[in-house]
Structure 1
Amino acid sequence: MTRPPRILGAVLAGGASRRFGSDKALVPLNGAPMLDHIVTVLACQVEEVAICGRSWGEFRALPDSTAERIGPLAGLEAALRYAAANGFDGVLTAPVDVVPLPDDLPERLAGSQPKVFEQQWLIGWWPAALHAALTAFLATGDRRWRVWIDRCGATRVAEPRPLHNINTRTDWTAAHAA
């Protein structure tokens, strides 16, 4: 009998929220900060939750390895580094600004190869063994998530339902209404 994979849940929450105009992780959605919605759903699906790019409550904070703001790949790199050093099989990532987060992500995504949702690429599964490859990719100076997805051979998987990516106040209003 094979053991279930040890999964680290990593919330990508270090963005500057420039298009939104304020820290969208803290913006209330149905009475709680968006970050709470993501953490609550993710925590039920993984062994441990870490927050990339900030501190939040009792959760492990994973800072970027560089002071240079390079985007969500820095959060993934921090999560993969922690996962590889602590015996996790892989990392399940979720951005702070995509709701509602599905409650069956390991069943949809986890496996031996990286996978991402077709439309919401920051929701994905990343085997811990990819840490060295991502570090090397970042050393080239490239920071594009789409290029990384292609480089590591991530499979794109259909989302189970429409998800709201909240980048602007208009997006927040639509998500709040839904």
Structure 2
Amino acid sequence: MTGDGNPPGLILAGGLSRRMGRDKASALLAGRPMIDRIAERLRPQVSSLALNACEGFAGVRDLPLVPDLHMDRPGPLAGVLAGLRHAAALPDAPGHLLTVPADTPFLPTDLVLRLVGQADDRTRIVLASSAGQIHPVIALWPLSLADDLEGWMASSDNRRLQSYIARHPAIAIDFALVDTPAGTLDPFFNVNTPEDLATAERFIEVLSR
């Protein structure tokens, strides 16, 4: 990986949360806002942590807010672009940016370590995967992609992360569940609905026993 140390991290919380019916990042999970849990798991792994969200977001108060550069809410690609620009302006600008969504409260504690281990140049996107599924929002992005991504956003109506990633070198790192207890959730389990939130609550109860 280019640069020294761990990359900065960005939590993407700019979605509309349609399936949840309310802002899911601020939804209480075992008595704490879900985004607080995500920030807690990420902070030891990154050099700094910021939040991509709309102005006025009522989430983690001590995280710098990185708003979208495009104001028509065009999805997570806009958040990635804003994060790349933000990271490039940091002192001793790193070579990469880590992004995660605001609805994955059980992120692995070795997420950054394993992704960084495969970031061997300035062009390859490193993605997380589990159970045969790639998670394109959970990724290590080279800062060198910022201009290219901005051009894509300006010239294409396609806002799918997968479509953009397909244009670049990329590798997926599998976080397989090995020797885990029955009922263990995927480390990238995401909370999209009230039912998902209830599942996450039950899993935390099991962990606390």
| TM superposition score normalised by structure 2 | 0.79
Q: Say if 1:5 and 1:138 are closer, same or farther in 2 by CA, change over 3 A.
A: farther
Q: Name the counterpart of 1:150.
A: 166
Which residue, out of 198, 201, 204, partners 1:173? 198
SS in 2 for 1:25: coil
SS in 1 for 2:163: helix
Structure 2 distance, partners of 1:116, 1:5, is 19
* 1:60 partnered with 2:64: yes
1:160 CA drift (Å)? 4.1
Which residue, out of 115, 127, 132, partners 2:147? 132
Gaps of 5+ in 1: none
| Number of equivalenced pairs | 177
SS in 2 for 1:7: coil
Structure 1 distance, partners of 2:63, 2:41, is 14
Conserved 8 A contact 1:84-1:129: no
Range with greater deviation from structure 2 (14-23 or 2-11): 2-11
Conserved 8 A contact 1:6-1:89: no
Q: Say if 1:3 and 1:18 are closer, same or farther in 2 by CA, change over 3 A.
A: closer
1:159 CA drift (Å)? 2.2
Q: What does the per-residue CA deviation read over 1:149-175, in whole Å, with 9 as the maximum and x for residues that have no partner?
A: 211222122124413111111111112
SS in 2 for 1:122: strand
1:81 CA drift (Å)? 0.8
1:3 CA drift (Å)? 6.0
Q: How does 1:106-117 map to 2 (within 5 A)?
A: 106-110=112-116, 111=119, 112=121, 113-117=124-128
The letter for the 2-side match of 1:125 is: L
* 1:77 partnered with 2:102: no
1:106 CA drift (Å)? 1.9
Larger Rg: 2
* 1:104 partnered with 2:110: yes
Q: Say if 1:175 and 1:49 are closer, same or farther in 2 by CA, change over 3 A.
A: same
Gaps of 5+ in 2: 178-185, 204-209
Q: How does 1:18-97 map to 2 (within 5 A)?
A: 18-54=18-54, 55=57, 56-86=60-90, 87-97=93-103
Conserved 8 A contact 2:96-2:141: yes
Conserved 8 A contact 2:5-2:47: no
| TM superposition score normalised by structure 1 | 0.92
Q: Percent identity?
A: 36
Which residue, out of 146, 159, 165, partners 2:175? 159
